């Protein structure tokens, strides 16, 4: 098996689940010179940051609340998937920023409003990490994320 690596950021993707999903978006958001394709499942686009950073007081919630709406569009292609029974933790803080389903809905909405190339999959009867649905959609998600990238590059 021969693996060909590239320095072309359009030929690099980041993928993550849960906190890894928000980390994947953070990597691509701040380093579009390295990554331009993102695949997330049950991404933690909620306020889970520690230690506190005054630049993003809402943690990853700030991506759909402030950063994406108030920034120029970036060259990113983003796939999001979340289950309708994903995490909701109302007792950690009563700040309204701890609902994974709502956070992913908001992320899809802001990506659409900004004209991003994105796809949002809302999986019914599926919990955190969309375990029971992942095998069904992951092949499509990977094909979608890589759509438009020449296979011979």
What would the pLDDT profile of 52-108 be if each residue is shown by its tens digit? 888 888 888 999 999 999 999 999 999 999 998 887 655 555 667 778 899 999 999
DSSP collapsed to 3 states, 135-152 = HHHHHHHHHHHHCCCCCC
Tell the burial category of 17 from Cβ atoms under 10 Å away from its Cβ (0-12, 13-18, 19+).
buried
7-20: pLDDT as tens digits: 999 999 999 999 99
CATH topology of domain 9-128+139-146: Rossmann fold (3.40.50)
């Amino acid at each position: 098996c021969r693996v060909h690596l590239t320095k072309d950021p359009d030929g690099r993707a980041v993928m993550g689940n849960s906190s890894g999903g928000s980390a994947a978006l953070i990597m691509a958001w701040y380093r579009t010179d390295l990554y331009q394709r993102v695949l997330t499942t049950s991404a933690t686009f909620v306020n889970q940051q520690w230690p506190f950073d005054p630049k993003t007081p809402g943690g990853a919630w700030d991506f759909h609340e402030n950063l994406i709406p108030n920034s120029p569009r970036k060259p990113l292609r983003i796939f999001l998937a979340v289950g309708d029974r994903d995490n909701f933790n109302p007792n950690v803080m009563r700040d309204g920023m701890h609902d994974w389903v709502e956070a992913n809905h908001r992320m899809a909405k802001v990506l659409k409003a900004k004209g991003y190339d994105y796809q949002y999959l809302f999986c019914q009867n599926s919990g955190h990490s969309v375990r029971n649905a992942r095998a069904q959609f992951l092949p499509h998600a990977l094909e979608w994320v890589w759509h438009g990238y020449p296979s011979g590059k």
